[in-house]
Amino acid sequence: MFKQMRSPVVGMLAVTALATGQNVWAKTGTTPVLFVGNSTGDTISVIDVIAKKAIATVKVGNLVHAVCSQGDGRKVFTTIESENALKVIDTATNKLTDTIALTGRPNECASTEDGHYVVVPIVTDNTADIVDMTQKKVVKTLPIKGPHNCFSPVGGSNDVIYCEERRGYDIAKIDMKTQDIVDRISVNGDPRPFVVTPDGKTMYVAESDLHGFNIVDVPGRKIAQVILPPASFMPCTIETANTPTHGIALTPDLKQLWATDVIDGGMYVYDISTKKLSAKISVGKCPNWISISSDGKYVAVSNAESDSVSIVDGKTHKVLAEVPVGKGPKRLEIVDVPEQQVTN
């Protein structure tokens, strides 16, 4: 049985100050390119989102974990568990350009907007490495209680990165200027993927054993909960059995939250204003991770047990294509690659 809230529900929250109807990070002069980490293989699949077809396969090393990128779309970063390494992909050539040694086994990374720093949780050491990409080395290591995923706020930031602390039931806020933890936000459970609004005032958090997600009012330290509709149980070998919801992503206008229903092969869209869920959007087996294009037109989800990704129309919620990728796809990101690089 999946858990319910550990504290009373305090009503649904809304991002009222930010829901202006305009995209907060849409970028012109770019093309959406999807990078998919194949977690049980050794490759990253590269997909032209508009054409909905694979255009490259990058061999990066066994046990691919992270996919994250810098704001200008020129570099994508991945972590390789088997090598304790952070690797860099040039999006103009879709080839590896650098390998940087880490202090232990890495999980999901987060980059500052300018690409100066990449923060990598080190699951073996209960720490997070801060990598200076200009020096190409780890410059500081911070204590993190049960690290797994790190993220920048929606739209990117040079100032803050957030990392979950699974054993602390909280999310740590890292000030990238001082490179220190300046806050810990309780989420009342074992956090998995999460999203932070650009102003840092609201978090949407998937948790272990929760078939849905929590909405955290950061200044008020209040938590509400959204439960997904009852689901049939789909056995998933790649994602742990206690993870009924995993992928989670905000639309660029901050009006909707997309979430995967891992155990029922689908996704739901939560309207932040009306507090209502859409009908189920059926995709592949055990949908894991979500990324949304900066114009909001496309939503990509990795189907971990189908070895594919589904590309969905962000407005109509119709599945446009299912594209084969490598083995065990999980983390993915739609990157705004400069059109000149794509053309070249």
Mind listing the pLDDT tens digit for each residue in 48-92?
999 999 999 999 999 999 999 999 999 999 999 999 999 999 999
Residue 263 DSSP one-character state: G
Q: How far apart are CA 83 and CA 286, in angstroms?
A: 27
- Strand stretches in 30-149, DSSP E: 30-38, 43-48, 53-59, 68-69, 75-80, 85-90, 95-101, 110-111, 117-122, 127-132, 137-143
172's tokens: 């740590």
Mind listing the pLDDT tens digit for each residue in 250-286?
999 999 999 999 999 999 999 999 999 999 999 999 9
Produce one character per residue of 27-54: b if its CB has 16 or more CB atoms within 10 Å, e if not.
beebbbbbbbbbbbbbbbbbbbbeebeb
Phi and psi, residue 343, nearest 5°: -60, -45
237's tokens: 């070998």
Query: Cβ neighbours of residue 16 under 8 Å, at least 6 residues apart?
Result: none
For domain 30-343, give the CATH number.
2.130.10.10
Nearest Cα neighbor of 229 from 278, 275, 193 is 278
Instruction: Supply the mean pLDDT for the chain.
Output: 92
Q: Is the pTM of this model over 0.85?
A: yes
Q: Return the domain boundaries, the chain.
A: 30-343
Element holding 340 (H helix, E strand):
helix 339-343
Q: Is residue 37 pLDDT above 70, yes or no?
A: yes
Q: Once rounded to an integer, what is the mean pLDDT over residues 117-123?
A: 98
Q: How far apart are CA 257 and CA 202, in angstroms?
A: 12
| Neighbouring C-alpha atoms within 13 Å toward the C-beta of 166 | 17
